[in-house]
Amino acid sequence: MSAAQLAALARTSEPQTMLRRFLALDALVTGANAIAYAAVSGPLGRLLGIGSGMLLGLGLFLLAYAAGVAWLATRRRPPVLPVRAVIEANLAWAALSFVALAVWLSPSTAGAVWVPVQALTVAGFAGLQYMALRAAADRD
């Protein structure tokens, strides 16, 4: 993705603002998933063919994670090491989602679609955050 495409997607050419926006979007989407997983783990578990206890645990974990990412998004200049940790955690989540699908989950059709979609979304956030972090470093 070119710098111009990245700037258009973030609606700014200022790298720190790009980074904060991509972190905020990640926090928003992750937080929404977390609330859904925690609040309606039973019905979602039945729909996706994934244990409701697992979804509840993931929801609570993701709620804390989303809060941390949201906090980073509020920083004028998000610190590099925590942002790298978010990027690496997002990549790990995406990879583990595919491993779980292949190794131990037996989801319904909806779950077999949802797991890769959410994994690719999270990997996309990692890519956008990485490019914005690089742009910010290049500008400094």
Whether 83 has a pLDDT exceeding 60, the answer reads yes
Predicted local distance difference test score (pLDDT) of residue 4 = 59
Whether 10 has a pLDDT exceeding 80, the answer reads no
Higher-pLDDT residue of 47, 135:
47
pTM above 0.85, yes or no: yes
Of 41, 49, 129, residue with least CA distance to 83: 129
pLDDT confidence of 39, banded at 50, 70, 90?
very high
Whether 25 has a pLDDT exceeding 90, the answer reads yes
pLDDT confidence of 5, banded at 50, 70, 90?
low
* Other beta carbons within 10 Å of 135: 20
48-70 pLDDT, tens digit each: 999 999 999 999 999 999 999 99
Higher-pLDDT residue of 120, 7:
120
Quick one: three-class SS letters along the chain? CCHHHHHHHHCCCCHHHHHHHHHHHHHHHHHHHHHHHHHCHHHHHHHHCCCHHHHHHHHHHHHHHHHHHHHHHHCCCCCHHHHHHHHHHHHHHHHHHHHHHHHCCCCCHHHHHHHHHHHHHHHHHHHHHHHHHHHHHHHC
